[in-house]
Amino acid sequence: MASTEDENNQENENTEPLVTDKRRVDPETGDVRPEAADAALGDLTPEDLELLEEAERDLVAEYRDRAARAEAELQNFRTRVERDRQANREAVIAEVIRSLLPAMDDLDRAEAHGDLSGTPLELVASKLRTTFERYGVVHVGVAGEPFDPSIHEAVMRVPSPEATSETVAEVIEGGYTLGERLIRAAKVAVSVPTDS
């Protein structure tokens, strides 16, 4: 009976499959197995190996260059997106400010006539001006300053013997800027020198 058991054990040992791992890359370490590398490069001459190494260096340099370009393009994209985001923000603020300007003009006219002093509207006008300042909105157009067609709109020209150059004689409606953006040009009367 013992011989039958030994025969069965031998049969079991012989019937188990024999697994040979012929993969070039070791799945545990990720390295190329030396025997696979030797087998792949075994027929190459030293000149061939040198050319292969040079090609490999060129390929690595090319991929580094591509990676640097991709990184630069990404940075340029981020810069462009931030610039566009800022421009959109300013455009929205400008549009909101532009919609509030008629109310601000009414408050300015009431203040010029002395109708705001001591009324609740004086506080409203003050809050509006503070809000404008907080967002960087600047009032343009002051009597006596040189006429600048980029921020002033001349609605009338007044010849004056005292004028040596075109200057703002009177502000009819104030203008506003937001940073470099003109929200509304100031409507002004311009003093001009009289012809002699």
Q: What are the counts of helices (DSSP H) followed by strands (DSSP E) for the chain?
A: 4, 6
Please provide the average confidence, as pLDDT, over all residues in the chain: 84
User: What is the structure's pLDDT at 196?
Assistant: 47
The conformation of residue 25, written as its DSSP 8-state character, comes to: B
Q: Place 29 in a pLDDT band, splitting at 50, 70 and 90.
A: confident
Regarding pTM above 0.85, the answer is no
Give 30-73 pLDDT, tens digit per residue. 777 776 555 556 667 888 878 888 888 888 899 999 999 999 99
Identity of residue 185: A
Residues 6+ apart with CB under 8 A from 189: 154, 155, 156, 157, 158, 168, 169, 170, 172
Domains, the chain, with CATH or none: 138-196 (2.30.22.10)
Q: What is the pLDDT of residue 10?
A: 60
Alpha-carbon gap, residue 43 to 91, rounded angstroms? 69
Contacts of 151 (CB under 8 A, 6+ apart): 140, 141, 175, 177, 182, 185, 186
Query: What's phi and psi for 172, nearest 5 deg?
Result: -85, -40
Helix or strand (DSSP H, E) at 170? strand 167-173
Q: How far is Cα 4 from Cα 12, in angstroms, rounded to an integer?
A: 12
Q: Residue 21: pLDDT above 80?
A: no
Mean pLDDT value across residues 8-13: 58
pLDDT digits (tens, 9 = 90+) for 122-177: 898 999 999 999 988 999 989 889 999 999 999 999 888 888 889 999 999 999 99
Place of tokens 């188990």: 16
Question: pLDDT tens, 70-94?
Answer: 999 999 999 999 999 998 988 888 8
